[in-house]
Amino acid sequence: MLKLPGLIDPHVHVREPGATHKEDWDTVTQAALAGGVTTILAMPNTKPPIFDEATLNLALDAAKAKARCDYGQYIGAGPDNGDWDKREALSLQAAGLKMYLDSTFGELRLDDMSLWTPHFQKFPKDSPMVMHSESRTMAAAILFSTIYDHPVHIAHVSLKEEILLIKAAKEKGIKVTCEVCPHHLFLDKDLTGFKNLSGLTSGRTEVRPRLATPEDVQSLWINLDVIDCFATDHAPHTLEEKDSDNPPPGFPGLETMLPLLLTAVDEGRLTINHLIEKLHTNPKRIFNLPDQPETWVEVDENASYEIKASETFTRCGWTPFEGWQVKGKVRKVVLRGKTAFEDGKILAEPGCGKNIRS
């Protein structure tokens, strides 16, 4: 039996408020615990988006009532809320600032770089800033980081050009960190990794950033040392939505991340130390998270099983890794001295999760 620290997933779409038919604070934290994750950081692009005191409280109140593991809630950067110097207390309640620099929508719309400036200037220097920024937009975000002297964390790196540029920036001493999602390590645009191709709708391969080329995937594996964190970008949508004419992008990931990575360990593609570093030590440091005393995850390294959506806790009811044979099963999760998950059963109660910023 392998004992791991409580894992941290810094990139989760909880869907509450606004789309609880896909997921809510209860189901998402059940999925987290089943995946060995004891802390999730929730993204702010909900309905409504989280961008001010009222909307932050909306999310935090729901979390407080329902969450079964620890959590933080990002606040989103918008065109009109860059005056963080006037709202420092609010900014310190958030897990960090999320900036959507590529996709542009509603209150979190930031398509003009001039709108980035106040956020970089005024968000508290010691608080995390996370960028959705692909390709050259990512490079632009790193330049802003350099000019305004605020570290940035790059979400869901998927391309060779991205990981190589982050490597070069780190070598130059620029304060940039990054995360990579399992689906960008195990799936590609040629549909490598998908089982049962005959039943695969195009919607079930839609994710942002898109699945990349095999060369991109290979570059992530080659540059494992440049990757600070693994993160799921858990983005549940129902199968009905995914199989519709206008499928929303996004995959669930909380329950498949650890078994996929443990299988890669078994295959010699990475080490247990890599896992602990990228799923605990690094995210704890980067996101300035408190200790979770008496917290651990027990894994049966030798248990082989098949991934089945029917056995998951996420409300969305499917996984792109359906049918994968994996090796390494979460047996037990202990959170602050109490058994939260054991042998396939959630034991933690709703509301027992703590806000990492309180």
Write out the residues near its own copies by the rule CB under 8 A. 101, 112-114, 117, 135-137, 139-140, 142-144, 146-148, 160-161, 164-165, 168-169, 172, 174
Q: Are 252 and 314 in contact (CB under 8 A)?
A: yes
Shortest distance, CB of residue 112 to its own copies, whole angstroms? Answer: 5
For residues 2 and 139, which CB has a smaller minimum distance to its own copies in the complex? 139
Sheet order of strands, 7-12 included: 7-12, 37-42, 70-73
For residues 144 and 194, which CB has a smaller minimum distance to its own copies in the complex? 144
Contacts of 115 (CB under 8 A, 6+ apart): 79, 82
| Alpha helix segments (H runs only) across 149-246 | 160-171, 182-186, 214-222, 239-242
Shortest distance, CB of residue 168 to its own copies, whole angstroms? Answer: 5
For residues 213 and 288, which CB has a smaller minimum distance to its own copies in the complex? 213
Q: Is 102 helix (H, G, I), strand (E, B) or coil?
A: coil
For residues 101 and 307, which CB has a smaller minimum distance to its own copies in the complex? 101
Shortest distance, CB of residue 207 to its own copies, whole angstroms? Answer: 21
Contacts of 285 (CB under 8 A, 6+ apart): none
Q: What does the block give as tokens for 301?
A: 């390294």
Q: How far apart are CA 98 and CA 79, in angstroms?
A: 13
Shortest distance, CB of residue 110 to its own copies, whole angstroms? Answer: 11
Shortest distance, CB of residue 249 to its own copies, whole angstroms? Answer: 21
Cα–Cα distances in angstroms (integers) from residue 287 to residues 14, 224, 255, 279, in the given order: 18, 20, 22, 12
For residues 92 and 113, which CB has a smaller minimum distance to its own copies in the complex? 113
For residues 66 and 160, which CB has a smaller minimum distance to its own copies in the complex? 160
For residues 133 and 295, which CB has a smaller minimum distance to its own copies in the complex? 133
Shortest distance, CB of residue 189 to its own copies, whole angstroms? Answer: 15
Neighbours of 289 (CB within 10 A): 20
Q: How far apart are CA 213 and CA 162, in angstroms?
A: 13
Nearest of 132, 184, 170, 179 to residue 278 by alpha carbon: 179
Shortest distance, CB of residue 312 to its own copies, whole angstroms? Answer: 37
Shortest distance, CB of residue 149 to its own copies, whole angstroms? Answer: 9
Q: Are 23 and 314 in contact (CB under 8 A)?
A: yes
For residues 56 and 212, which CB has a smaller minimum distance to its own copies in the complex? 212
Shortest distance, CB of residue 166 to its own copies, whole angstroms? Answer: 11
DSSP 320-348: TTTT-EEEEEEEEEEETTEEEEETTEE-S
Nearest of 24, 178, 159, 49 to residue 104 by alpha carbon: 49
For residues 68 and 98, which CB has a smaller minimum distance to its own copies in the complex? 98
Considering only CA atoms, give the Rg of the chain. 19
Q: How far apart are CA 9 and CA 14, in angstroms?
A: 12
